Amino acid sequence: MKLLPFEKPLGELYEKIEQLKTLSRESDIDLSSEIKKIEKRAEAVREDIYQNLTPSQVLQIARHPNRPDSLSFFRLISEDFIELHGDRAFGDDPAIVGGLGRIDGRRVMWIGHQKGHDTKENIRRNFGMPNPEGYRKALRLMQMANKFGLPIVTLIDTPGAYPGIEAEERGQAEAIARNLREMMGFGVPIVTFVIGEGGSGGALGIGVANRVYMLENAVYSVISPEGCASILFRDAKQADIAAKNLKITAKDIVGLGVADGIIPEPLGGAHHDWSSVSLAIKAQILRDLAEMSTQTPETLRQSRYAKFRAMGVFTS
């Protein structure tokens, strides 16, 4: 597994353990007490690193190439997931995926940004940066869910909507804005999880929900720390400071009242254990859907509006 830069001290200890194990196997010398000692140290270093993560370190975990992706979550969490394609107007955007699934028998419409785990897949998925047709596909599927009374579950994981010539020509702004307005009006429950990167309007475009959750090492931000640094600090290398200022971590987002809760991840990040994270998300979905299943469409709409209506800090 790819180690992140701040995990380097840990990587060195693991390497040492491996070397000693090989040595003891090949030379028949008992090094088990030595190994145990280093393992203990590694454990201490591990806890020390992960319990004091800086925002930019969390960001690195959120962007880890092995972090579980939307399609994998759909399949791990729901039975008989079936993917549905296309916006019926222009094309099928691989950077946003969606389809029907059943979670413990409960039918839902899944929507999510889709990143890849390697360069080839990432190029195909445009690194999870949707074009307008992605948002329009998401809208089409959500409208279908609304029509058939199915709850909507969305997973957010994008650096942002794609900034390209064609995206502008086809109305990136309009595609996102329309989703914000339409999602507010649906009469079915909507639950959103920020599973990795919650990048700006491109994230929010599928994120207007009754309940919003952050995975422990996910981030949610109005602009990427790099983008913020290059505009405000005129230096993209100041991204660490920007990340701190922007308050992008799960704890910050919940503290500001923008998300309702945090889904715990295994120490080191979700990429170490996809299935435990899937179970935690599944449990949360089932709790929320059970709670909201008795609410009328009007109540669901009103409470969703009230939630976002209350956001903002100002003096008067």
Partner 1 sequence: MSIIDWFAKREKNTVDTTEKLNIPGHLWIKCDHCQEILFQKDLKDNAHVCPKCGFHFRMVAMDRLALIFDPASFVPEDENLGPTDFLSFSDSESYTDRIRKAQAKTKRQDAVVSGMATLNHNPISVAVMDFSYMGGSMGSVVGEKITRTIERGLAKRCPVVVFTSSGGARMQEGIMSLMQMAKTSGALDLLGRAGIPYVSVLCDPTTGGTSASFAILGDFNFAEPGALISFAGPRVIEQTIRQKLPDGFQRAEFLLSHGMVDRVVDRRELRATLSLVLDMVWGCPAV
User: From the centroid of its chain, how far is CA 30?
Assistant: 45
- Site mask, partner 1, residues 123-162, x = CB under 8 A? --------------------------------------x-
Q: Inter-axis angle of helices 239-246 and 225-232, to 10 degrees?
A: 110
Buried/exposed 35-58: b ≥16 CB within 10 Å, e otherwise: beebeeebeeebeebbeebebbbb
CB of 171 to partner 1, least distance (A): 5
CB of 170 to partner 1, least distance (A): 7
Q: Give me 189's structure tokens.
A: 């429950």
CA distance 187 to 301: 6
Out of 59, 61, 155, 167, the only residue in the binding site for partner 1 (CB under 8 A) is 167
Instruction: By CB under 8 A, tell whether 228 contacts partner 1.
Output: yes
Instruction: By CB under 8 A, tell whether 245 contacts partner 1.
Output: yes
Instruction: By CB under 8 A, tell whether 204 contacts partner 1.
Output: yes
Instruction: By CB under 8 A, tell whether 188 contacts partner 1.
Output: no
Instruction: By CB under 8 A, tell whether 171 contacts partner 1.
Output: yes
CB of 283 to partner 1, least distance (A): 26
Instruction: By CB under 8 A, tell whether 222 contacts partner 1.
Output: yes
Q: Which stretch binds partner 1 (CB under 8 A): 83-91, 115-123, 180-188, 291-299?
A: 180-188
Residues 64-123 interacting with partner 1 (rule: CB under 8 A)? none
User: From the centroid of its chain, how far is CA 118?
Assistant: 17
Out of 253, 262, 263, 280, the only residue in the binding site for partner 1 (CB under 8 A) is 253
- Do 141 and 111 contact (CB within 8 A), yes or no? yes
Tell me which amino acid residue 62 is. A
Counting every residue written for the chain, the total comes to: 316
Determine which helix (DSSP H) or strand (DSSP E) holds 183, and give its type and residue range.
Answer: helix 172-185
State which residue, 2 or 313, has the beta carbon closest to partner 1: 313
Do strands 96-103 and 211-215 pair parallel, antiparallel, or not at all (unpaired)? Answer: unpaired
Instruction: By CB under 8 A, tell whether 315 contacts partner 1.
Output: yes
User: From the centroid of its chain, how far is CA 175?
Assistant: 21
CA distance 307 to 297: 15
Instruction: By CB under 8 A, tell whether 164 contacts partner 1.
Output: yes
Number of residues interacting with partner 1: please give it, by CB under 8 A: 55
- What is the distance in angstroms between the CA of the first residue and the CA of the last residue of the chain? 52
The residues, ordered by sequence, that sit 6+ positions from 314 with a Cβ below 8 Å of its Cβ are none
Q: Which stretch binds partner 1 (CB under 8 A): 103-111, 145-153, 226-234, 277-285?
A: 226-234
Residues near partner 1 (CB under 8 A): 161, 163-165, 167-174, 176-178, 180-182, 184-185, 200-201, 204-205, 207-208, 220-223, 227-228, 231-233, 241-242, 245-248, 252-253, 256, 258, 304-305, 308-309, 311-316
